[in-house]
């Protein structure tokens, strides 16, 4: 497949069949209020998106279970990447992502030992500035590695909307980071931080696979490289 063909295919970000990823024009036909008929996919002949009739809690459970169908529904049919203000959502999701990363770094710093109480205000200010700088630089490394890998693998040019869509998929699939807020209140073993990191990596992999149709091993390798680069940046900056 040529680069031009691949880029033309990637620009088609409308409704998709959650089973095979085929583009469809509509998800359902509405005859009257409350009376709809779900459309079938022309490619696989299955109902394109049965999640339309499901409660959000069912969708959320399937997201936790890492089902590719649930991520396709979320990214293509629920968010509708062609029509939403994707930049605004990315900025809000990115802000939350930075806050949760700051929580992770704060937990790592707090486990390195207690600080001198007589210098608590100075230490707090310095720690806050250091965490902010570390989060910004660490995520800059993460995005740089991820976008470079995507550009090489998919042979994209500088089609920025596509990179933003991939970034959005990574951000919304990092919901396991919310457990870090709980860890700020209750004590957890240090290994719990890395367990959260593993779940975030696996969820990011499924979301990237649902969005790009890449193989599982390719997505794992790409995201593992980006996450490892970010963790190494964190460790280097912390020490």
Q: What is the pLDDT of residues 197-213, one digit of tens each?
A: 999 999 999 999 998 88
The pLDDT-based confidence of 17 (bands split at 50, 70, 90) is very high
Distance CA 136, CA 185 (A): 24
* CA atoms within 13 Å, Cβ hemisphere of 87: 2
Q: Can you tell me the mean pLDDT for 1-8? A: 39
Residue-averaged pLDDT of the chain: 82
Q: Read off the pLDDT of residues 25-47 as tens digits, 9 standing for 90 and up.
A: 888 888 877 778 899 998 998 99
Under DSSP, is residue 175 helix (H, G, I), strand (E, B) or coil? helix
Helix locations, the chain, DSSP H: 3-10, 56-64, 68-72, 86-110, 120-154, 160-172, 179-183, 191-212, 216-238
**Which one-letter DSSP state was computed for residue 116?**
P
Distance CA 131, CA 216 (A): 33
Q: Can you tell me the mean pLDDT for 50-61? A: 91
Specify the pLDDT at position 3: 39
The pLDDT-based confidence of 123 (bands split at 50, 70, 90) is low
Q: Can you tell me the mean pLDDT for 193-200? A: 90
CA dihedral 85, 89, 91, 95 (to 10 degrees): 170
Q: Can you tell me the mean pLDDT for 44-57? A: 90
**Are residues 44 and 19 in contact, defined by beta-carbon separation less than 8 angstroms?**
yes
In 3D, which of 130, 126, 141, 124 has the Cα closest to residue 105?
130
In 3D, which of 116, 114, 96 has the Cα closest to residue 104?
96
Q: Where is 8: in which H helix or E strand?
A: helix 3-10
Q: Which residue bears the tokens 């992770």? A: 104
Q: Read off the pLDDT of residues 76-114 as tens digits, 9 standing for 90 and up.
A: 888 766 666 677 888 888 899 998 888 888 777 766 554
Distance CA 134, CA 107 (A): 13
In 3D, which of 208, 210, 232, 236 has the Cα closest to residue 222?
208
Specify the pLDDT at position 238: 64
- Least confident range from 22-31, 48-57, 95-104, 155-164: namely 155-164
């Amino acid at each position: 497949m040529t680069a031009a063909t691949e880029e033309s295919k990637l620009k088609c970000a409308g409704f998709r069949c959650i089973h095979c990823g085929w583009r469809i024009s509509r998800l359902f036909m509405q005859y009257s209020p409350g009376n709809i008929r779900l459309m079938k996919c022309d490619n696989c002949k299955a109902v394109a998106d049965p999640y339309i009739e499901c409660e959000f809690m069912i969708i959320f459970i399937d997201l936790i279970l890492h089902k590719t169908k649930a991520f396709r529904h979320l990214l293509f049919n629920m968010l509708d990447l062609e029509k939403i203000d994707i930049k605004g959502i990315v900025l809000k999701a990115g802000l939350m992502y930075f806050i949760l990363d700051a929580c992770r770094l704060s937990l790592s710093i707090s486990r390195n030992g207690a600080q001198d109480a007589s210098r608590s205000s100075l230490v707090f200010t310095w720690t806050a500035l250091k965490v902010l700088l570390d989060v910004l630089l660490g995520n800059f490394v993460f995005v740089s590695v991820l976008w470079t890998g995507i550009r090489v693998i998919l042979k994209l040019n500088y089609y920025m909307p596509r990179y933003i869509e991939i970034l959005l998929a990574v951000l919304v699939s990092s919901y396991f980071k919310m457990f870090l807020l709980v860890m700020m209140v209750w004590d957890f073993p240090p290994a719990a931080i890395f367990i959260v990191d593993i779940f975030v990596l696996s969820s990011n992999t499924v979301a990237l696979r649902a969005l790009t149709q890449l193989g599982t091993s390719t997505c794992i390798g790409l995201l593992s490289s980006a996450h490892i680069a970010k963790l190494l940046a964190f460790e280097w900056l912390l020490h």
